[in-house]
Amino acid sequence: MPKQKLVIIGAGMAAGRLLEHLFETAPDAFDVTLFNAEPRGTYNRIMLSPVLSGEKSYEEIVTHDDDWYTEHGVTCRFGERVVAIDREKKIVSGENGDVPYDRLVIATGSNPFIIPLPGHDLPGVLAYRDADDTDRMIEACKPGAKAVVIGGGLLGLEAAAGLRLRGMDVTVLHLMPTLMERQLDPSAGYLLEKELSGRGITIRTGANSKEIYGKDRVEGIRLDDGTDLPASLIVMAVGIRPNVAVAKNAGLDVGRGILVDARMQTSDPSIYSLGECVEFEGNCYGLVAPLYEQAKVCAAALAGSADQAFVHTETATKLKVTGVDLYSAGDFTDGDDRDEIVFRDPARRIYKRLVLKQNRLIGAVLYGETSDGAWFFDKIRKAEEILPEARATLIFGQSFAGGAPLDPMAAVAALPDEAEICGCNGVSKGQIIGAIDKNGLCDLDGVRACTKASSSCGTCTGLVESLLAFRLGDAFAAPAKKTVCGCTDLGHDDVRRLIVSQQLKSIPAVMQELGWKTSCGCAKCRPALNYYLIASWPNEYVDDGQSRFINERVHANIQKNGTYSVVPRAWGGMTTAAELRAVADVVDKFNIPAVKYTGGQRIDMLGVRKEDLPAVWADLNAAGMVSGHAYGKSLRTVKTCVGSDWCRFGTQDSTGLGIKLEKMMWGSWTPHKVKLAVSGCPRNCAEATCKDIGVVCVDSGYEIHFAGAAGMEVRGTDLLTKVTTEADALEMCAALLQLYREQGFYLERIYKWSARVGIEKIQAQIVDDAENRAALYARFLDSQRNAQTDPWAERASGQKDAHEFSELVLAE
């Protein structure tokens, strides 16, 4: 039988492996011609990173050298592009001439995706894909020069690490909030970021590039928030796209990739395809494992065997940055039908998470300790049932499998006396046990007083309690502590304190460093952490919309039927004829079914369709109105009476003061909603004395009241103090709000905060201590610098969260 003519387009890793299998199973079946656009044969593209970093040379990563091709009789047409495929005549046209085929394999791989930013074609802007790119990068490297890598995925980070190792000053720009979000969950992403930052790489997450600039070659990049980053090298590593051009031109069925069946056959039975250019059952592939699998199947198919079929399976990832232990596999997205096992050791920077579904492991993320990765991956691929008795110790991996579940008591019992329990204060187990015995201590407070253990950051509290229990037995009753939620053993006070003392500036950071028991928190802790981070780092922390409830996320109040209610701000309750007309016009234009005056002195449009929200806001904005935050844990309204402007009894300009307060305070996020009111006289028509903060004007000045309520509970305010000038009233109210912002627990109204902390303590900090009051006032004003952007305007212009408002349109 004469040899069949086999043409292969592309000499990447998939093609290389295909040839190996083919020559192994059917060594004499084919006469092979191998086209490759790169002027070289197959090398281990995965190992380009060590080449870039200088840890390996190119030669070390070549898998098929010229000798190999010669030995196997492959006709190599390297450095020659394929121009066209004539499927009828079964001819492949290369730049240098035609080649007929009986069977054709397309393995064109993928192209790096280049973001069409202005300046993307300037010299010095590179993709990171092949050996040539690597060479160019190495060429461009100058120790101390600035490089920017766009893309915080696998490839981008490897590039960044490589450039850094070559002495460059590297910044990674990543659009998403955490690195490698496709392979890692936020906690692992956080650890990775921390690790890379520790290596001197600057990471900017949530960074949106706007333009690359430079005269003859790249000089830097500008972000959409105005940040300007000078750079002599910019690497784009934002993703790949299957290279389907030649297949598409030949009329093959193409989706995102070239469509293939389980035998890697395309829509033309004579043509096969494999590697990063294919699409199989909706999936495209970028990691090597499935590509090798495809090569095996394809080789069998070409050899005439029908008993092999490609099956889509989960893949595992490892980052090829020396010293970074990171492993992810399978599906680790959240979902109601899955549960998880999380283990964190903040001190050792370890994070492990297993995701289970119906008692079967479906995903794993490991950071810091990845030795069990393969063992877990095997269980994922096999969909092996995890038995209840194995579950408790599953996360400790293969070496612990079959062992007894950890008993915290046994664990502390097993600790040596010199083991450090409290890292902050350097207190050992022995010291704590000694103090318990010597002083007859029987509770946490006692241990804290005697040894200082657990008195600083508090993360060792659980350990100290275990020691107490271990030593005292039943005589120790662990206090029923109110924790933030089931995800942590810490209370709100500890969390607030630790966020500041440990400088934790993101939700994953908090969760990792404070040893959260879950990967991503829950509906209770996430909004709380988001608020605490905003309050602690007002001009740094970027609000996490996904940690907010729907109302705060879409800046409107969701109604029973899924529509929304929209309440514009009416400063101090005032409005105008023009505003009323604008509201009326909006109501008519968008067929809003109900309009209601609110008890908070505003107007509420009810029944607005979600997709209409941006347009409704745009119209309201045009009439000068902004969001009333009626949906927020934030400043709601400042109710006023008409005061000395109009009222016969008014002693001061209550409306004016109310407007000033509202203009000062709006946009501020707070532990819970905050309602204010200013009454012009003790008749108190604005009902100031049942508000969170209430000002009652009197002849001699302003009474500042606080801690009232009129919802589930009704509670008259307490008098904070009395001041004489309007300026003093503004400062006092702002200082009070700021103290509440800094001390209040999430979802704790001012009156509950006051009850917990004590009125006298609050007065001591605000009324008696002028310096502290001024500092609080200053902090409040500082925190407002970036808070007073109308969220409606941002969304009406499509700048922000466009996805929130378009989903219903897409569903149509």
Q: Footprint of its own copies on this chain (CB under 8 A)?
A: 558-561, 565, 570, 573-578, 580-581, 583-585, 587-588, 594-604, 606-607, 639-640, 642, 644-648, 650, 655, 677, 682-687, 689-690, 708, 710-717
State the nearest-atom distance from the C-beta of 497 to its own copies, in Å. 31
| Bridge-based pairing state of the strands 169-174 and 202-205 | parallel
Q: Give the shortest CB-748-to-its own copies separation in angstroms.
A: 16
Contact 542, 178 (CB under 8 A): no
Q: Where are the beta strands (DSSP E) in 39-158?
A: 75-78, 82-86, 91-94, 97-100, 103-106, 110-112, 125-127, 146-150
- To its own copies, the closest distance from the beta carbon of 220 in angstroms equals 50
Report phi then psi at 656, rounded to 5.
-60, -45
Beta-bridged to residue 353, according to DSSP, are 342, 365
Q: What is the CA radius of gyration of the chain?
A: 33
Nearest to 542 by CA among 786, 231, 198: 786
Which lies closer to its own copies via its Cβ, residue 104 or residue 659? 659
Torsion sign over Cα 358, 360, 362, 368: positive
Report CA dihedral (729, 730, 731, 736) to the nearest 10 degrees.
90
Q: How far is the CB of 561 from its own copies (least distance, A)?
A: 8
CB nearer its own copies, residue 432 or residue 582: 582
Task: Report, in Å, the least distance between residue 575 CB and its own copies.
Answer: 5
Cβ burial of 637 (10 Å; 0-12, 13-18, 19+) is buried
Residue 296 C-beta: closest distance to its own copies, Å? 55
CB nearer to its own copies: give 543 or 645: 645
**DSSP helix/strand/coil, 504:** coil
Nearest approach in angstroms of CB 712 to its own copies is: 6
Q: Which is nearer to its own copies, 26 or 574 (CB)?
A: 574
State which residue, 450 or 710, has the beta carbon closest to its own copies: 710
Shortest CB 541 distance to its own copies, Å: 30
Distances (CA, A) of 208 to 173, 185, 458, 785: 8, 21, 37, 22
Place of tokens 């766009």: 150
Q: Who's near 700: CB < 8 A, 6+ residues apart?
A: 722, 724
Q: Which is nearer to its own copies, 561 or 810 (CB)?
A: 561
| N-term to C-term CA, the chain | 59
Smaller CB separation from its own copies, 444 or 685: 685
Which runs of consecutive H residues, i.e. helices, occur in 666-725? none
Residue 42 or 655 with smaller CB distance to its own copies? 655
Q: Between residues 118 and 711, which has the closer beta carbon with respect to its own copies?
A: 711
Q: Left, alpha or beta for 204 (phi > 0: left; psi -120 to 50: alpha)?
A: beta
130 DSSP assignment: S
Closest CA to 506 of 153, 194, 156, 151: 194
Longest Cα–Cα distance in the chain: 112
| Alpha-carbon gap, residue 447 to 592, rounded angstroms | 62
Contact 281, 259 (CB under 8 A): no
Q: Which is nearer to its own copies, 70 or 576 (CB)?
A: 576
CB closer to its own copies, 614 vs 643: 643
Provide the minimum distance between the beta carbon of 37 and its own copies in the complex, in angstroms, as a whole number.
59
- CA–chain centroid gap for 428, Å, is 37
Q: Phi and psi of 715, rounded to 5°?
A: -145, 125
Sheet of strand 4-9, all strands in order from the earlier edge strand to the far edge: 75-78, 30-36, 4-9, 103-106, 271-273
Distance in Å, CB of 688 to its own copies, minimum? 9
Q: Shortest distance, CB of residue 718 to its own copies, whole angstroms?
A: 11
Q: Give the whole-angstrom CA distance, residue 13 versus residue 291.
A: 8
Q: How far is the CB of 699 from its own copies (least distance, A)?
A: 15
SS3 category, 523: coil
Cβ atoms 397, 341 nearer than 8 A: no
Shortest approach of its own copies to residue 700 CB, angstroms? 18
Of 673 and 773, the one with the shorter C-beta distance to its own copies is 673
CB of residue 196 vs its own copies: minimum separation in angstroms? 44
Q: What's the Cα-to-Cα distance from 369 to each of 374, 381, 672, rounded to whole Å?
A: 12, 21, 40
Q: Quick one: 198 or 561, whose CB is closer to its own copies?
A: 561
Whichever of 152 and 708 has its CB closer to its own copies, that residue is 708
